[in-house]
Structure 1
């Protein structure tokens, strides 16, 4: 049986391994994305069936939330480059998003859903660009593509 080559991201002689901080960022990102997808995939159904929202209001809330994330990401990238506080902005973004998750099942009206969705996407926007820049700074030059 032939030996299979070891992938570059697993430590090999002469090459550096992916830093643990990048693995941690990846794990946090995975968990946050899974929780977001779980909630956001069921949220429109919840808004229509339980809260009695119209399809137009669901579309407005979803569109506004995603536009908010994109605009916030642009500004957080500029702030990240200016302040050079990538870790702080990343933690703030993940923290905001995590704090909004319990608001969705507790929502008794569309206003609460709108605010929770808005703050969740602000958190996503704040963390996006600084997290990507942080990965670029932490990654060894020979593994930069692998780290992303």
Structure 2
């Protein structure tokens, strides 16, 4: 009678590592929503266009006939710097949100990698039944609920 080899239970150190990964992930603030990311991207595009328009307007201004060119040039540089400063201030939040999203993407990739290392889909020595992920379990439960609701509706029509 052949015995089926069972996978060796994880070591205490491995369990501690998994626990630390979980704690780090759960300590993160909420990830920005897709809508927030799209709004930040749109804001940056709008600010870039507005900045370019204002800088172009400033560069095409001609000095009044009684103002020395050097003095007018200083005024133009001040206006340019002010436009850049205001744009920078307005971009801060949008850029922060996009950088935050990139960091969350990195966290997600690392968590996915850790998950694959802890629970590989297929062991080379034995084939084991893959447990459903939380998402798969929720989707399956929703499908069962929908089919139960349909059966109830069908039964009440008969």
Could you state the TM-score of these two structures normalised by the residue count of structure 1?
0.36
Could you state the TM-score of these two structures normalised by the residue count of structure 2?
0.34
Larger Rg: 2
